[in-house]
Amino acid sequence: MAFSQGFTPHPKISYASAAPTGVASEAEYLEIGLREPVDPEQLRLALDAALSPGLDVLDAVVASGASLPDRIEASRWRIELPQVDPDVLAKAVAVFTAADEVLVERMTKQGRRTFDARAAVVNIDVSPASATPSGDPAVPCAILELVVRQVTPSVRPDDVLSGFRVVAGLEPPVAPKVIRLAQGTLTAQGAIVDPLDADRDGATIGGR
Amino acid sequence: MSVPSTTSRPVAANSVWPRLEPLLPQVTKPIQYVGGELGAVVKEWDAATVRWALMYPDAYEVGLPNQGVQILYEVLNELPDTLAERTYAVWPDLEKLMRAHGVPQFTVDAHRPVRDFDLFGVSFATELGYTNLLSAIDLAGIPLLAADRTDADPVIVAGGHAAFNPEPIADFVDAAVLGDGEEAVLEITGIVREWKAEGCPGGRDELLLRLARTESVYVPRFYDVDYLPDGRIQRVVPNRADVPFRVHKRTTMDLDAWPYPKKPLVPLAETVHERYAVEIFRGCTRGCRFCQAGMITRPVRERSITTVGQMVQQGLEFSGFHEVGLLSLSSADHSEIGDMCSGLAEQYQGTNVSLSLPSTRVDAFNIELAQELSRNGRRTGLTFAPEGGSERIRKVINKMVSKDDLIRTVVTAYTNGWRQVKLYFMCGLPTETDADVLEIADMAHEVIRAGRAATGSKDIRCTVSIGGFVPKPHTPFQWAAMQRPEVIDHRLKLLKQAINADRSLGRAIGYRYHDGEPSLIEGLLSRGDRRVGAVIRRVWENGGRFDGWSEHFSYQRWVDAAAEVLPGFGVDLDWYTTRERDELEVLPWDHLDSGLDKDWLWQDWQDALGEYEQDDCRWTPCFDCGVCPAMDTEIQIGPTGRKLLPLTPVNGMKLSAGAQ
């Protein structure tokens, strides 16, 4: 592990667009500086062993070229809204998508900020009603997947949900469940490409 | 928002996790309730015969680094048929949600309900955790009063320094253990194991009786307290045959045989200490008369330099911590501290590992050690603790430091490159006058004046930190009257004015102090008897939580509760705090044996009033405090003559990989 210089050296770790607290994620990325070259697979195993159950290190590559933040242009999220009728959600999404701008508010470290939650959203898909992956099948559950561009200030899934409330009055009766499915560079077709691909030379190092 | 259940996380059969998880996004710092730290252990519930829930009754950020809990957690989990999990006090925001959603007090390891365990061990470093104990018991769904509990409830065992007078919580705990916990928890585990193997004969009562018969586990329900008409205690006597008149403290001898923690917990949330801490010795015989820790942990037992070296190496390799704390009550007094510091400094030179030593001894040797430890370029702070402002009061408290020593030592620190030192004092000591406290200002002024002269620089500072004195059981000051908070606060104000009376010098002096009010309540709890339990309960019912936190502590709530409850017993808050006791008064903890001879303590109290000092028995003959013969223990100190060898290259490589 490499450390910064100075009076209180810090380990060289930088996190790119970490998921908000309380949100699950299948795709977090971070960059670490090492003092000497290490086999990426050995590093992956060592980190995985030290981390809590449920925090799995899936892959490690030697970084070259563009920095990690430059390779993270967008995220794909899935949001489950228990007790929300999928048709109601579909209508809210339609209104939201049709708008040019949807202003929402959120408390940030700099205080309360108002910003547009619409422009960063590349795509929203509402799943058909039957596809309930978790919870009681008797209770309706609306599910959507959305692709959101990495912007400043960042637009998070809860901001998009705030947007639904602003434009369509959608108020989920229970806490939504959110998971980040992927992060990476955005293709013209709106697909997300794994940011580590560029350093893989086509060969998979970790067992992804 | 919460996490979809599609993510996998092993969930124990009796886990409350599915009900807890949806609440976490609604509370501050939810990560403190998640568990899964490096060093944490989760065992199969059904594979264990004896199950302990261990609690430090404060928030995770304070409780996780606690050495005592970490050691017992590891010692217990090493037993194949025993499991131990940890629980901490939950903040009021989560408590409210847990009550609304019926989620009980849980362990952070496997999120099991505390009530499911056989034993619920709570470690009290301070009496201010008592209200949090009540919250935890109540949230766990366990009856608040020990008398109301059934075989379905765990046996609640108190430990830690405050357990040397557990009387204020006697109604709420089932048992208390005095002294070192390592062997005590193993013995208790053995008793529970055997009792369960026999089919739990006689239920809870029989189990508690078996614990009491060890003579080292105090079971309050087997003792009756009688009071005199004036409110004082008449006597405390067993109400059952076979129960000892006195309960004795435990002492773990040969610390080299107990090299814990081996696998320190690495916290997930930010905590007050993030370091690998190793106790280099236990006990202290310096004899500071205010210091309960020094009195109740005798005799001095050193861990050898080689064991310390090995523990540091393995602890760092396991945890990846960057900081090592060499802990004890007076670390510079270890017989091989010089070789230990230079050896460790050598081994870790050029790495990111920093070493720290709680430095309170006022002499040049302390600075030599600090210099060794700062080889990596990081200077840890230097703290000196003269404790009392005047020569006279230092004789009263038996802190043998002269003003000249202090000035010389601090000036040495300045000339060796330290720009800032901290000086620690107490206010409200027995026999103290305004003049004693005001001498602190003279001392601080002289320190700055001499420091400026020696370094030729104005860029030196000192901080005067002053805390309120609280008389504690099993110390020579157990008979002393406390000073009223108004008097303390007035003296602190006078001191501030005196420090700033010289503007030039005052600018270089920082001033930190604590108000007198929390100390008075700590005094009520530390020397209280069973009647104080009703005050604790009333405060808790009125919302008292986290009394060790100034933002949560309410003096008024305690004063009101005391005024409501205590007159019914013919006593009041002052009776417990500002009243001096006489020699023959039965003290609430007289039946609890710390090894100290009560006559010796009384004599030491008289010596304090007469301003006579008492030497340290490590370097002068035994002065008969009573501990060694009563407990069948002895002083265990070096030097061993061994040295720390440089780490081999292989270990060096491993170290750099581990020291992330």
**Least Cα separation, residue A161 to chain B (angstroms):** 11
Tens digit of pLDDT for each residue in A86-130? 999 999 999 999 999 999 999 888 889 999 999 999 999 998 765
What region does B101 belong to: left with phi over 0, alpha with psi -120 to 50, or beta?
alpha
How much is the pLDDT for A137? Answer: 60
Residue B583 forms part of a structural domain: no
What tokens appear for B167 in the block? 């009387």
* A35, A54, A134: residue with CB nearest B9: A54
Cα(A170)–Cα(A161) distance, integer angstroms = 8
**Residue A177 or B198, more confident:** B198
* A9, A26, A175: residue with CB nearest B1: A175
- Which pLDDT band holds residue A138 (cuts at 50, 70, 90)? low
Residue B56 forms part of a structural domain: yes
How much is the pLDDT for B659? Answer: 36
**Cβ(B235)–Cβ(B590) below 8 Å:** no
**Cβ(A60)–Cβ(A68) below 8 Å:** no
Quick one: how far is CA B54 from the chain centroid?
Answer: 15
Do B339 and B191 share a domain, yes or no?
Answer: no
Domain's final residue, options A24, A41, A68:
A68
Lowest mean pLDDT among A81-85, B64-68, B98-102, B128-132: A81-85
pLDDT at residue A174 above 90?
no
How much is the pLDDT for A133? Answer: 53
* B9, B25, B378: residue with CB nearest A22: B25
Residue A95 forms part of a structural domain: yes
pLDDT at residue B6 above 60?
no
How much is the pLDDT for B449? Answer: 96
A7 vs B3: CB contact, 8 Å cut-off? no
Residues of chain B neighbouring A8 (CB-CB closer than 8 A): 378
**Least Cα separation, residue A91 to chain B (angstroms):** 22
- Report the sign of the C-alpha dihedral through residues A65, A68, A70, A73, in that order: positive
Residue B642 forms part of a structural domain: yes
Identify the three-state secondary structure at position A68: helix
- Tally of domains in chain A: 2
Do A39 and A96 share a domain, yes or no?
Answer: no
Do A27 and A61 share a domain, yes or no?
Answer: yes
Domain's final residue, options B164, B198, B228:
B228
How much is the pLDDT for B645? Answer: 84
**Least Cα separation, residue A87 to chain B (angstroms):** 21
Residue A198 forms part of a structural domain: no
Do A82 and A129 share a domain, yes or no?
Answer: yes
Q: How far is CA A91 from CA A100, A125, A169, A189, in A?
A: 16, 12, 11, 24
How much is the pLDDT for B2? Answer: 45
Residue A130 forms part of a structural domain: yes
How much is the pLDDT for B650? Answer: 44
Closest to B492 (Cα-Cα) out of B512, B520, B522, B471 = B512
State the residue for tokens 């040049």. Answer: B364
Q: Label residue B592 exposed, middle or buried (CB < 10 Å: 0-12, 13-18, 19+).
A: buried
A22 vs B659: CB contact, 8 Å cut-off? no
Residue B387 forms part of a structural domain: no
What region does B283 belong to: left with phi over 0, alpha with psi -120 to 50, or beta?
left
pLDDT at residue A202 above 60?
no
Do B131 and B214 share a domain, yes or no?
Answer: yes
How much is the pLDDT for B255? Answer: 97
Query: C-alpha angle with apex A147: A142 to A152, nearest 5 degrees?
Result: 120
Residue B166 forms part of a structural domain: yes
Do A101 and A168 share a domain, yes or no?
Answer: yes
**Residue B374 or B648, more confident:** B374
**Least Cα separation, residue A178 to chain B (angstroms):** 6
Cα(B571)–Cα(B644) distance, integer angstroms = 58
Residue in chain A closest to B352 (alpha carbons) equals A9
Do B25 and B96 share a domain, yes or no?
Answer: yes
**Least Cα separation, residue A169 to chain B (angstroms):** 18
Residue A128 forms part of a structural domain: yes
Query: C-alpha angle with apex B545: B542 to B550, nearest 5 degrees?
Result: 115
Do A105 and A131 share a domain, yes or no?
Answer: yes
Residue A21 forms part of a structural domain: yes
Do A49 and A79 share a domain, yes or no?
Answer: no
**Cβ(B472)–Cβ(B478) below 8 Å:** yes
B415's enclosing H/E stretch is: helix B403-415
Tens digit of pLDDT for each residue in B512-551? 999 899 999 999 999 999 999 999 999 999 999 999 999 9
Do A45 and A132 share a domain, yes or no?
Answer: no
State the residue for tokens 């001894």. Answer: B361
B5 vs A11: CB contact, 8 Å cut-off? no
Residue A202 forms part of a structural domain: no
Number of CB atoms found within 10 A of residue B441's CB: 24
Residue in chain B closest to A32 (alpha carbons) equals B660
Residue A163 forms part of a structural domain: yes
Mean pLDDT of chain B: 94
Residue B215 forms part of a structural domain: yes
CATH code for position B200 = 3.40.50.280
* B6, B7, B38: residue with CB nearest A50: B38
How much is the pLDDT for A22? Answer: 85
* B1, B3, B5: residue with CB nearest A158: B1
* Domain assignment of residue A88, given as a range: 70-186
**Residue B432 or A139, more confident:** B432
Which amino acid would we find at residue B123? S
pLDDT at residue B598 above 80?
yes
Which amino acid would we find at residue B239? N
Please compute, for residue B655, the number of CA atoms within 13 A of its CA located in the half-sphere on the CB side. 21
Taking the Cβ of residue A176 and every Cβ of chain B, the question of whether any pair is shorter than 8 Å is answered with yes
Do A25 and A123 share a domain, yes or no?
Answer: no
Do A143 and A169 share a domain, yes or no?
Answer: yes
Do A44 and A139 share a domain, yes or no?
Answer: no
- Mean pLDDT of the A31-53 span: 91
CATH code for position B354 = 3.30.750.210
pLDDT at residue B655 above 80?
no
Q: Where are the alpha helices (DSSP H) in B470-581?
A: 485-500, 503-507, 516-526, 532-541, 555-565, 573-577
Taking the Cβ of residue A33 and every Cβ of chain B, the question of whether any pair is shorter than 8 Å is answered with no
Q: How far is CA A181 from CA A27, A75, A145, A174, B261, in A?
A: 6, 7, 9, 22, 39
pLDDT at residue B139 above 90?
yes
Tens digit of pLDDT for each residue in B103-126? 999 999 999 999 999 999 999 999
Order across the sheet with B50-56: list the strands: B82-88, B50-56, B119-123, B155-159, B175-177, B217-218
* A3, A22, A53: residue with CB nearest B24: A22
Q: How far is CA B26 from CA A61, B23, B468, B525, B535, in A?
A: 36, 6, 38, 34, 32
pLDDT at residue A31 above 80?
yes
- Which pLDDT band holds residue A204 (cuts at 50, 70, 90)? very low
**Which stretches of B434-519 are assigned E, i.e. beta strand?**
461-468, 509-513
**Cβ(B137)–Cβ(B184) below 8 Å:** no
Do B217 and B323 share a domain, yes or no?
Answer: no
pLDDT at residue B149 above 70?
yes
- Report the sign of the C-alpha dihedral through residues B454, B460, B464, B465, in that order: negative
Do B54 and B189 share a domain, yes or no?
Answer: yes
Domain's final residue, options B172, B195, B228:
B228
Residues of chain B neighbouring A175 (CB-CB closer than 8 A): 1-2, 22, 25-26
Do B330 and B181 share a domain, yes or no?
Answer: no
Domain's final residue, options A22, A52, A68:
A68
- Mean pLDDT of the A68-93 span: 93
CATH code for position A115 = 3.30.70
Cα(B443)–Cα(B125) distance, integer angstroms = 32
Q: What residues are paired with B101 via a beta bridge? A: none
Global ipTM? 0.82
A53 vs B36: CB contact, 8 Å cut-off? yes
Residue B309 forms part of a structural domain: yes
How much is the pLDDT for B4? Answer: 45
Residue A194 forms part of a structural domain: no
> What's the maximum distance between 2 C-alpha atoms anywhere in chain B?
77
Residue B174 forms part of a structural domain: yes
Q: How far is CA A187 from CA A71, A122, A126, A155, B227, in A?
A: 12, 11, 21, 19, 83
Number of CB atoms found within 10 A of residue A61's CB: 18
**CB pairs A-B closer than 8 Å:** 71
Do A17 and A105 share a domain, yes or no?
Answer: no
Do A61 and A75 share a domain, yes or no?
Answer: no
How much is the pLDDT for B109? Answer: 97
Lowest mean pLDDT among B174-188, B332-346, B416-430, B644-658: B644-658
**Cβ(B658)–Cβ(B321) below 8 Å:** no
- Mean pLDDT of the B351-370 span: 83
* B2, B31, B268: residue with CB nearest A175: B2
Domain's final residue, options B197, B228, B259:
B228
- Tally of domains in chain B: 2
Taking the Cβ of residue A152 and every Cβ of chain B, the question of whether any pair is shorter than 8 Å is answered with no
Residues of chain A neighbouring B25 (CB-CB closer than 8 A): 21-22, 175
Residues of chain B neighbouring A12 (CB-CB closer than 8 A): none
* Domain assignment of residue B49, given as a range: 17-228
How much is the pLDDT for B10? Answer: 62
